[in-house]
Structure 1
Amino acid sequence: MDQIQHKFVDIRGLKIHMAEIGTGDKVVVFLHGFPEIWYSWRHQMIAVANAGYRAIAPDIRGYGLSEVPSEPEKTTFKDLTDDVLAILDFYGVPKAFVVGKDVGAITAYHFVVAHPERVTGVVTLGVPYTPPGHSFAYEGQIPEGFYVLRWQKPGRAEADFGRFDVKTVVKNIYILFSKADIPIAEENKEIMDLVHPTTPLPSWFTEEDLSIYAALYEKSGFRTPLQVPYRYYNQYVFRRMTF
């Protein structure tokens, strides 16, 4: 990964960490999800650079090495969308392919809607398109123990995560998210209780990967990640969602 370059740039008043590789006019912007960072895209970045593209992957504001906003709980998806526009302007990129997952997918959708003239194409993973401000037309049958609903509630995730070190929290989330079953806790349990301490990491996620993620979440904390996506977007999307 030594060929990937790193720097910090001032994006709308915050120092945002940027990873980049490749040259040329064809640009791909990679937007990560939770519990991820720019590092999640490292293999794809190298692949698109080898194919003749320039790859740019920020740590979203409040994530990884990027600066945490002074009031993380006020962060919105408009902030993330405006950040993408400012990043393109910083690099002097008129149009780019936008690739997003999870938080990054929602940001990509919003960016395409707000600034279609700046997008060559879009690829998203993990989250379907939902217009800004739109709710799914379902009513209240989703289990209370669903991890999204638990993490929506201020203080609930903080208390749950606070029982463990950051590395264990990140490890447990990756184990939960790698399963086929959706993480749902019983009434008297928390989300972290769904992972037995002896459960191994997924085969595709190494101890080295875990250490890299954990070190960066120790730096950033979880205040911004819990706000976006869970406490901002999902307050009107998942509240009405059922299976």
Structure 2
Amino acid sequence: MEKIHHNYVNVRGLKLHFAEIGTGPVVVFLHGFPEIWYSWRHQMIAVANAGFRAIAPDFRGYGLSELPTYPELTTYKDLVDDLLDMIDSLDIHQVFLVGKDFGARVVFHFVLLHPNRVLAVATLGVPFLLTGPGTFPQDLLPKGFYVLRWQEPGRAEADFGRFDTKTVVKNIYILFSGSELPAPKDDEEIMDLVDPSTPLPAWVTEEDLANYASLYENSGFQTALQVPYRAWLEEYGVEDIKIKVPSLLVMGEKDYALKFGGLEHFISSGMVKEYVPNLEITFLPEGSHFVQEQFPQQVNQLIINFLNKLV
């Protein structure tokens, strides 16, 4: 970890943080929620040792990156534009993109808008998904599903506000490590689903939790609730919805996301390849939604093998 360097770049009026290590072809890692650049620590070191330059930004309003003036107006397109300006300012022409959770959606949005800048993509926990108002399967989701709850302005803020930041992050890690969709009853909130005595997953240390907590204490949850949740229905803004670069998808077989509106069938039936024709799919049998932290060695090897076939 001490070999990972931390830098800042001014992008579109904001001071954005990124971590980096290594030299060679550039691999950019894009985090999800409740993650941050730190969630890629295992992968960054591994790909650097394999001859690549690893870069892991904090999205605007996350971690050590500056909070936008109006976080409630942040869009996925903002994150795409930020990434483009960041790699331009670092004089990087082409990259491999790796995304986790909603970071996967930023990966796909970026490659659809800037296909000549991307050599290949890998995503964890989330496959390619169509976007827009007609693509969100509310009728297939439980009534209190957390995404629907967190789309309501003020609701998550009130729920989270009952606890310190460390407890909020801990509870989300516990919930998202399960195999069921988090959905409380009408008289409950999301945080109520976690018994205070429930331990962290075995692969999350107290040091890890402290690092996440300190980063979210710095940034707060304002931007995180806007993107991904409240900007969820935003469209890609292109007509040709096809990912044409080589692609890798890594999913945990026990990932709760597989129960998200028929997602497992979308992947296992091959329907996803209608949009991502050059796609390799790997399922990790005991994997949860956090496969890159839960099984870092396996995920590292999958990513490095994928990259090595393309350089």
Band the TM-score falls in, shorter-chain normalisation: over 0.9
Counterpart Cα distance in 2 of 1:214 and 1:21? 23
Q: Which amino acid aligns with 1:169?
A: V
Return the alpha-carbon distance in structure 2 between the equivalents of residues 185 and 134 of structure 1.
Answer: 24
2:183 matched residue in structure 1: 184
Q: Distance in 2 between matches of 1:137 and 1:60?
A: 24
Aligned to 1:199: 198
Normalising by the residue count of structure 1, what TM-score does the alignment of the two structures yield? Answer: 0.94
With over 3 angstroms needed to count, the CA separation of the structure-2 counterparts of 1:141 and 1:195, relative to structure 1, is same
Change (3 A) 1:158 1:198: same
Do the aligned residues in 2 keep the contact of 1:144 with 1:150 (CA within 8 Å)?
no
Instruction: Give the percent of matched residue pairs that are identical in Structure 1 and Structure 2.
Output: 64
Residue 140 of structure 1: CA displacement?
2.5
Residues 27-68 of structure 1 deviation map (CA, whole Å, 9 limit, x = unaligned): 000000000110000110010100110000000110000000
Task: Note the C-alpha offset of 1:138.
Answer: 4.2
Q: How does 1:39-78 map to 2 (within 5 A)?
A: 39-78=38-77
Any idea what SS the aligned residue of 1:140 has? helix
Paired positions, count: 238
Check if 1:32 corresponds to 2:35: no
Mean Cα deviation higher: 58-67 or 227-236: 227-236
What aligned pairs does 1:162-173 form with structure 2 within 5 A after superposition? 162-173=161-172
Q: Distance in 1 between matches of 2:186 and 2:202?
A: 30
Q: Are the structure 2 counterparts of residues 55 and 137 from structure 1 closer, same or farther at C-alpha, using a change threshold of 3 Å?
A: closer
CA–CA distance in structure 1, aligned partners of residues 9 and 26 of structure 2: 18
- Mark the runs of 5 or more structure 1 residues left unpaired by the alignment: none
RMSD over aligned Cα atoms:
1.6
- Quote the offset at 1:234 in angstroms: 4.7
Question: Within 5 Å, which residues of 2 pair with 1:74-153?
Answer: 74-133=73-132, 135-136=134-135, 138=137, 140-153=139-152
User: SS at 2:19's partner residue?
Assistant: strand
* AA in 1 matched with 2:182: P
**Cα distance 1:138–1:220, how it changes in 2: closer, same or farther (>3 A)?**
closer
Match of 1:11 in 2: 11
Aligned letter for 1:176?
A: L
Corresponding residue for residue 211 of structure 2: 212
Whether the 8 Å CA contact 2:76–2:234 is kept in 1: the answer is no
1:143 is displaced (CA, Å) by: 2.1
Counterparts of 2:190 and 2:138, CA distance in 1: 23
CA contact (8 A) 2:30 2:37 kept: yes
| TM-score (normalised: structure 2) | 0.74
User: Structure 1 residues 235 and 49, CA, compared in 2 at 3 Å: closer, same or farther?
Assistant: closer
**Per the alignment, in what secondary structure is the counterpart of residue 199 of structure 1?**
coil
Which residue identity is paired with 2:153? P
Aligned-partner Cα distance in 1 for 2:65–2:42: 21
Contact 2:132 2:234 in 1 (8 A): no
